[in-house]
Amino acid sequence: MSNKANFKRSTCNCRCTLKQEEERRNADMLYEKIREKLRRKEDEYKKDVETKQQVELALRTLNMEWKAAKNQVVEERSDTQWQLSPEQKAKVLQDGSLNNHLCKQKELEMAHKKTNSKVVARQLQQELADTLKKQSMSEASPEVTSHLRLKDETQDLKKKLGQIRSQTYCQSTEIFRSCIVWTPKSEN
Instruction: Name 25's Cβ contacts closer than 8 Å, sequence gap at least 6.
Output: none
User: Minimal CA–CA distance to 62: which of 124, 107, 102, 115?
Assistant: 115
Task: Specify the amino acid at residue 148.
Answer: L
> Which domains, ranges and CATH numbers included, belong to the chain?
41-182 (1.10.132)
Lowest mean pLDDT among 46-50, 59-63, 85-89: 85-89
For the chain, percent of residues with pLDDT exceeding 90: 13
Tell me the backbone φ, ψ of residue 154, rounded to 5 degrees: -65, -45
CA distances, 31 to each of 22, 27, 39, 139 (Å): 14, 6, 12, 16
CA distances, 54 to each of 1, 44, 45, 125, 150 (Å): 79, 15, 14, 11, 15
Cα 33 to chain centroid, rounded: 31
Alpha carbons 109 and 114: distance in angstroms, whole number: 8
**Whole-number average pLDDT of the chain:** 77
**Under the phi-then-psi rule, with left for phi > 0, alpha for psi from -120 to 50, and beta for the rest, what region is 96?**
left
- Please report which residue ranges of the chain form alpha helices under DSSP H: 2-83, 86-95, 97-136, 141-182
Tell me the backbone φ, ψ of residue 68, rounded to 5 degrees: -65, -40
| Mean pLDDT value across residues 58-79 | 84
pLDDT digits (tens, 9 = 90+) for 113-154: 777 777 777 777 777 777 766 666 555 566 666 667 778 788
